[in-house]
Structure 1
Amino acid sequence: MTALTHLEVCIDNIESLHAAQQGGATRIELCSSLSLGGLTPSVGFMRQAARLSSVPVYAMIRPRQGDFLFSGEDMEIMLADIHAAKQIGLQGVVIGVLNTAGKVDHDQLAALMQAADGLGVTFHRAIDQCVNVYEALDMVMAAGCERVLSSGLQATALDGAETLAEMVRYCDNRLSIMAGAGVTADNAADILVQTGVKELHLSGKTTRASLMEHIAASAHMGDASVDDFAIPVTSAEKIAAVLQAVKTIR
């Protein structure tokens, strides 16, 4: 069994930053659009998080939804966003780039790592879409990333626990494997025990009602199935419950 050393919480609004810290998060993954898997946060959001956070903040560097096959223009955007994160004073970035064959794109990763020099770097769940996860891990380690976020190639980290355990053994102390996807207070302890990971990643999402007094029921900002007056936010209680659930693991 392995004790938890980091509980990373992914957020996409400033309200959630306060809740995540209140709940006991030890690191923040800063995103926009968590409903799309997380995209790059705005410069203003980065700056506000850097000012207000008492724990390290890593910015997601992902310019669009969808796959992780990025064009030259996408790369220019990502390099500029990494530069912004560095200038603002964030502690790290979160990246992931693949080629058409489902392998880590060596040249793109090298360019992003060079831009991120001086920052911590997490390689995100693009690893779960690789054709050979161990070859991918070798490339990520050779590039100098400090951790990989993975669900063990499955829909949830609990489903992928066996593969996560193999990844932990394969990387040993050369790279931290952080388990994410579907992590809750109900399964966090099982994930730690079954995998040997030392870091967990979750959003702890809930919703709160809008504070608007006037509700415009007919007009929608986007998809009509999405309630514009239910605000997705991190639950401090859900984050604290995960920490409570794993506190006895040594």
Structure 2
Amino acid sequence: MFQHIEVCIDNLESLHYAQQGGATRIELCSSLALGGLTPSVGFMKQAAKHALIPVYAMIRPRQGDFLFSDDEIELMLEDIHAAKQAGLQGVVVGVLTPQSQINRDALTTLVKEAKGLGVTFHRAIDQCREPFEALDTIMSTGCERVLTSGLEANALAGTDTIARMVQHCGNRLSIMAGAGVTADNAVEIIAKSGIEEIHLSGKSTRASHMINVARQAHMGSADIDDFLIPVTSAEKIAAVVRAIQC
């Protein structure tokens, strides 16, 4: 039986839209354009205040690879503690070695800090050379699920590998498919892979409500419109919900 539609968000406005659309869990991030980084403590607290469904905080201190220094691991431990103090239900982590294997010691330390919270291992597994060996390591540390695209650019392309992951883990670890999931392909991904959880953003944008717009001054890259607000589309999430319920 299908269990969860997880929606990743990076602003509070999107939390409301995700819930309106029928999300059953939230992945809380900053900077989704960078693949998702750790949300602020204030964002964690406000999400806990407004959420009617479980919220898992991304614990990723920077963009780039998943090879983290000792200092960065310490930072991640502090952020996990902050998520727990904020009243969230879980965290999302991923740590690798230079050889693209799971960093067992670091992951064990992070999971230990997260005691009392659920732990998802994120798409760092899609960078692993030996994904099934990685799954065994992840299961041994006590994580409850893995988010994966099946080592491909998107979950639809990776359904064969995702199906093998589901068979490999059985009921010891939930496999959640993510990357490029939409109302048009969700049913096919579920049917081909046998997963019970999917992950998506339902990306859309809205225009700024500013009356006066200073186009000459840019807050970052000139290629990015500072007055276009990325938000989750409640309609896109609802369309996925309808598709998988048919």
Q: Distance in 2 between matches of 1:168 and 1:114?
A: 25
TM-score, L = length of structure 1: 0.98
Instruction: Find out whether 1:239 has 2:223 as its counterpart.
Output: no
Q: Which residue of 1 aligns with 2:217?
A: 219
Return the match for 1:162 from 142, 160, 163.
Answer: 160
Q: Which residue of 1 aligns with 2:111?
A: 113
Cα RMSD of the aligned pairs, angstroms, is 0.5
Q: Distance in 2 between matches of 1:173 and 1:114?
A: 22
Q: Distance in 2 between matches of 1:247 and 1:193?
A: 13
Q: Which residue of 2 aligns with 1:137?
A: 135
Q: Any conservation in 2 of the 1:20–1:239 contact (CA below 8 Å)?
A: yes
Q: Any conservation in 2 of the 1:4–1:200 contact (CA below 8 Å)?
A: no
Q: Distance in 1 between matches of 2:222 and 2:42?
A: 28
**For residues 132-152 of structure 1, what are the alpha-carbon distances to aligned partners after superposition, in whole Å with 9 as ceiling and x for unaligned?**
000000000000000000000
Q: Which residue of 2 aligns with 1:206?
A: 204
Q: List runs of 5+ in structure 2 lacking aligned partners.
A: none
In structure 2, the residue corresponding to 1:218 is in which secondary structure? coil
Q: Distance in 2 between matches of 1:172 and 1:73?
A: 35
Q: Which residue of 2 aligns with 1:91?
A: 89
Q: CA deviation at 1:112?
A: 0.2
Q: Give the AA of the match of 1:11.
A: I
Q: Distance in 2 between matches of 1:43 and 1:88?
A: 7
Q: Which residue of 2 aligns with 1:76?
A: 74
Return the match for 1:16 from 8, 14, 17.
Answer: 14
**For residues 130-185 of structure 1, what are the alpha-carbon distances to aligned partners after superposition, in whole Å with 9 as ceiling and x for unaligned?**
01000000000000000000000001000101000000010011100000000000
Q: Any conservation in 2 of the 1:184–1:204 contact (CA below 8 Å)?
A: yes
Q: Distance in 2 between matches of 1:26 and 1:174?
A: 21
Return the match for 2:31 from 30, 33, 45.
Answer: 33
Q: Distance in 2 between matches of 1:220 and 1:108?
A: 39
In structure 2, the residue corresponding to 1:77 is in which secondary structure? helix
Q: Distance in 1 between matches of 2:182 and 2:165?
A: 21
**For residues 195-247 of structure 1, what are the alpha-carbon distances to aligned partners after superposition, in whole Å with 9 as ceiling and x for unaligned?**
00000000001000000011111111111111011100000000000011110
**For residues 15-55 of structure 1, what are the alpha-carbon distances to aligned partners after superposition, in whole Å with 9 as ceiling and x for unaligned?**
00000000000000000000000000000000000000000
In structure 1, the residue corresponding to 2:79 is in which secondary structure? helix
Q: Distance in 2 between matches of 1:128 and 1:4?
A: 23
Q: Give the AA of the match of 1:141.
A: M
Q: Which residue of 2 aligns with 1:123?
A: 121
Q: Give the AA of the match of 1:158.
A: L
Q: Any conservation in 2 of the 1:149–1:177 contact (CA below 8 Å)?
A: yes
The size of the alignment, in residue pairs, is 246
Q: Give the AA of the match of 2:175.
A: I
In structure 2, the residue corresponding to 1:155 is in which secondary structure? coil
In structure 1, the residue corresponding to 2:215 is in which secondary structure? coil
Q: Which residue of 1 aligns with 2:63?
A: 65
In structure 2, the residue corresponding to 1:10 is in which secondary structure? strand
Q: Distance in 1 between matches of 2:198 and 2:107?
A: 24
In structure 2, the residue corresponding to 1:28 is in which secondary structure? strand
Q: List runs of 5+ in structure 1 lacking aligned partners.
A: none
Q: CA deviation at 1:4?
A: 2.2
Q: Identity over the aligned pairs, expressed in percent?
A: 67
Q: CA deviation at 1:88?
A: 1.1
